[in-house]
Structure 1
Amino acid sequence: MKNLVPLFLSLILIPQPLHARTWTAASDGKKMEAEFVKSDGRTVTIRRAADNKVFTVPLTTFSEEDREFVAAKIEEMKAADAEKNAPELSLGDYEEMIKGEWVKGEHEGVNYQMYGPKRVKRSDSLPLVIYLHGSGERGEDNEQQIRVQGPKTLTADDNFRKRPCILIAPQAPTDGGWNGGTGDAVLDLIEDIVKNVSVVDSKRVYVTGYSMGAYGSFSLMSKEPDLFAGAVTIAGGANPGIAGDIKKIPIWNFHGDMDATVNVEQSRGIMEALEKARAPVKYTEMAGEGHGIPGKVYNDVEVHEWLFAQKQD
């Protein structure tokens, strides 16, 4: 029994890997237990459980499953570094509004609702999306503007999980639109959020709108062209004279060629002017479609992927 004590103590004193796993050789399938230490993406450093020896080998030494594990660990380490080096989390006056559900607010006399992730951390970098509704959602209830296709699709579980953002849906007054004081208040709200919410990516501010909201989107962009990284506009239009002001903003515009509410020429005019200005625009004219096209546009995953890929230099 006395002879076993030193051996037992030596086993206790040998550092043991805390997170050992089974690694498989790509060449012959041999296995060993080892703890992941670090990786630069080309090589991997591990600590072998049998003798605590640390060594570095090409990542291709191990199986595809092991390489996937290492890739995941690299992403974890990057996220940890980003969190460590990120500025302190600051949500300003919007702290109680970013909670995974629609929350009502008011800014300079304009009602709006905000939607964001249930939780945010200081390393998050989220786009800010502004949705401008059409004339049918004007009012004072601060409700109708979130019941339409744009906000519903942007906040749908699967879409929001893949493309999280801070979404703002203001409501124009009953007898007003997005020009004048209402538009100015929305711009001020956007700038205030960008300034005071640290998780908002100032290089990824997007605006999208339908009908009156499409006109409003063009109006906001013409007033503050340096603020926006991209836009999706539906069944609206703008004065072609603003093309020079907004020619640097990527815009994807949609219009039905049978639209009896807003004539398709309203879109054709501004898009032709933007194309002449060599602006980074896309124009989809939907054959046989009338004014009610938001569902087809906002339910198209490609539209969301395109918008969220836009980023200012």
Structure 2
Amino acid sequence: MKKRAIITFVLAGLLGLAQAQDNSVLPEHIQSVTAISRVLGDGRKVATVVLEYDTPISNKSLDINSYRVEGKDVMRVYANTAPERAEKGVNGPYVIIEVKAEVDLDAQPKQPTPADMEKKQERDRMQGGPGLRAGWSTGGDDEYPGNAVVVQTADIKTAKGKTYKASETPIASTIEKCLVADDFKQDEFVSPYTGQVLPYNIYLPEDYNPEEKYPLVLFIHDAGVASGPVTHTLYQGNGATSWAEPEAQARHKCIVVAPEYPFITVDDNWNYSHHLDATIELLKDLQTRYSIDPNRIYTTGQSMGCMSSIVMMLKEPDLFAGALLVAGKWNPALMGSLDKQNIWIISCEGDRSSNTLQGEAVELWRSQGSSVSEATWDMTLSNAQLSEEANKMRAEGNHLLFTHLTGGNHRATWFVSYGIEGVQDWLFEQHK
């Protein structure tokens, strides 16, 4: 198991021991229940549940049918001496329940309730018609829960042979931990233009040294979580966390910044809000407080975030060293000047709007004399296979690249695009 993950599991267990809990709501013998989640392409998902008992549990008394986790498929159950995953179980006070956590390429956002629809209708009435508009909120109603509910469905034994009887009583998690996302800190930036507050998340490398210079990756979320809690941009997908994963940091140490926008920053009519100016000022401010390499500031975003990145690149052509543009678009007629920048576009074939308009921008760049690498990838390939495909495109040596993912849909584009090593390696190769 990866060292970072082990440390996180240990911390989760220690947190459960150290924090005062109202154990009156927990069954006898259970001290704490920790739900540990990961952020995948389609959002945060619980991957492990750790039950802390008051005495060592017999590993031999446990099997996959010992517990049920509501809404989850249990993959492994075993005891351990520490609150962490292990290849082999041993007698110990911690019962580790591993559950299935993988990307669903067909995952859809939370469907609006009647109250949500009433709110939307009122917003549409106030703004003169239906549709998303820059400067308006979508409500931030998407949910990415990190809790778990466990039921002990079979008798288990302690290491000394005492039986703890099965029970249909639901056991709710008392502690939530999210790998990598919990390593981000939250802060706020006050716009010098309007005085409005822009909340953001920031990740610093574990061994951050102000004497060194670090590249910075800016991630901008899509409209689905606009006006949500500040951490929603970390939970909605791995567009921010993929750069802070232990494996990614081992290859490319960097600072990661992920704002949480209170309003929609851009819309389909090519309008954008002042929050993008605030974002530019945020980046300038961060350079005065952290050791950032000004020649290696990168931007990426999905859907609204992709479009926001394009607007900022047009407004500040010397700000970013490179951009990864996922599932977005902009008026192709206005994108001609971007052919001087380092850009990798990824769109799903099933996302007609993004794929078509970005394709028109690419043809404009070609008509202006620029070379663009273009390829189609099977989106169901493994991450390692996608990285191989990315390396083939990198080998062509062009600074403009356009990848089509087979089939899919708008949201599926970012379910797949982030965390591909070859794509990440390309971005960090770019310098101003």
Range into which the TM-score falls when normalised by the shorter chain: 0.5 to 0.7
2:249 corresponds to which of 154, 160, 178:
160
Q: Whole-Å Cα distance in 1 between the matches of residues 288 and 366 of structure 2? A: 33
Q: Whole-Å Cα distance in 1 between the matches of residues 308 and 366 of structure 2? A: 20
The CA deviation string for residues 246-280 of structure 1, in whole angstroms up to 9 with x for no partner, is 222100001111126x4421221222223333273
Q: Secondary structure at the match of 2:402?
A: strand
Query: Considering only CA atoms, is the larger Rg found in Structure 1 or Structure 2?
Result: 1
Deviation, 1:144, is 0.7
Q: Secondary structure at the match of 2:227?
A: coil
| Counterpart position of 2:226 | 138
1:237 corresponds to which of 321, 324, 329:
329
- Give TM-score, length-normalised by structure 1: 0.63
Is contact 2:218–2:258 with CA below 8 Å preserved after alignment?
A: yes
Residues 1:186 and 2:306 are matched in the alignment: no
| Counterpart position of 1:268 | 359
Deviation, 1:218, is 0.4
Quickly say closer, same or farther: Cα 1:244–1:102, change in 2 above 3 A.
same
Is contact 1:235–1:267 with CA below 8 Å preserved after alignment?
A: no
Residues 1:310 and 2:427 are matched in the alignment: no
1:42-191 counterparts in 2 under 5 A?
101-107=183-189, 108=191, 109-147=197-235, 148-177=237-266, 179-191=272-284
| Counterpart position of 1:287 | 406
Q: Whole-Å Cα distance in 2 between the matches of residues 141 and 206 of structure 1? A: 24
Deviation, 1:215, is 0.7
Is contact 2:332–2:358 with CA below 8 Å preserved after alignment?
A: no
The CA deviation string for residues 186-231 of structure 1, in whole angstroms up to 9 with x for no partner, is 000011222442x210000100011111111101100101011000
Q: Secondary structure at the match of 1:146?
A: helix
Deviation, 1:137, is 1.7
The CA deviation string for residues 33-57 of structure 1, in whole angstroms up to 9 with x for no partner, is xxxxxxxxxxxxxxxxxxxxxxxxx
Matched length: 211
Q: Whole-Å Cα distance in 2 between the matches of residues 174 and 251 of structure 1? A: 26
Q: Secondary structure at the match of 2:219?
A: strand
Quickly say closer, same or farther: Cα 1:232–1:140, change in 2 above 3 A.
same
Q: Secondary structure at the match of 1:288?
A: coil
Quickly say closer, same or farther: Cα 1:149–1:120, change in 2 above 3 A.
closer
Q: Counterpart amino acid of 1:207?
A: T
Quickly say closer, same or farther: Cα 1:232–1:263, change in 2 above 3 A.
closer
Q: Which runs of 5+ in 1 are unaligned?
A: 1-99
Once structures 1 and 2 are overlaid, which stretch shifts more, 145-154 or 204-213? Answer: 145-154
Deviation, 1:115, is 0.6
Q: Secondary structure at the match of 1:293?
A: helix
Residues 1:211 and 2:303 are matched in the alignment: yes
Quickly say closer, same or farther: Cα 1:304–1:105, change in 2 above 3 A.
same
Is contact 1:234–1:255 with CA below 8 Å preserved after alignment?
A: yes
Q: Whole-Å Cα distance in 2 between the matches of residues 286 and 226 of structure 1? A: 30
Residues 1:200 and 2:319 are matched in the alignment: no
Q: Whole-Å Cα distance in 1 between the matches of residues 327 and 264 of structure 2? A: 21
Q: Whole-Å Cα distance in 1 between the matches of residues 216 and 225 of structure 2? A: 21
Is contact 2:345–2:403 with CA below 8 Å preserved after alignment?
A: yes
Q: Counterpart amino acid of 2:185?
A: V
Q: Counterpart amino acid of 2:342?
A: P
Higher relative contact order (CA closer than 8 Å, sequence separation 6+): 2
Q: Counterpart amino acid of 1:186?
A: T
Quickly say closer, same or farther: Cα 1:226–1:254, change in 2 above 3 A.
same
Quickly say closer, same or farther: Cα 1:140–1:286, change in 2 above 3 A.
closer
Q: Whole-Å Cα distance in 2 between the matches of residues 288 and 177 of structure 1? A: 26
Q: Whole-Å Cα distance in 1 between the matches of residues 264 and 300 of structure 2? A: 21
User: What is the RMSD of the two structures over their aligned residues, measured on CA atoms?
Assistant: 1.9
Q: Counterpart amino acid of 2:427?
A: L
The CA deviation string for residues 113-154 of structure 1, in whole angstroms up to 9 with x for no partner, is 111113322441210110011111211411110111211211
Q: Which runs of 5+ in 2 are unaligned?
A: 1-181, 192-196, 372-398
- Give TM-score, length-normalised by structure 2: 0.46
Deviation, 1:180, is 2.2
Bigger helix share: 1
Percent identity reads 27
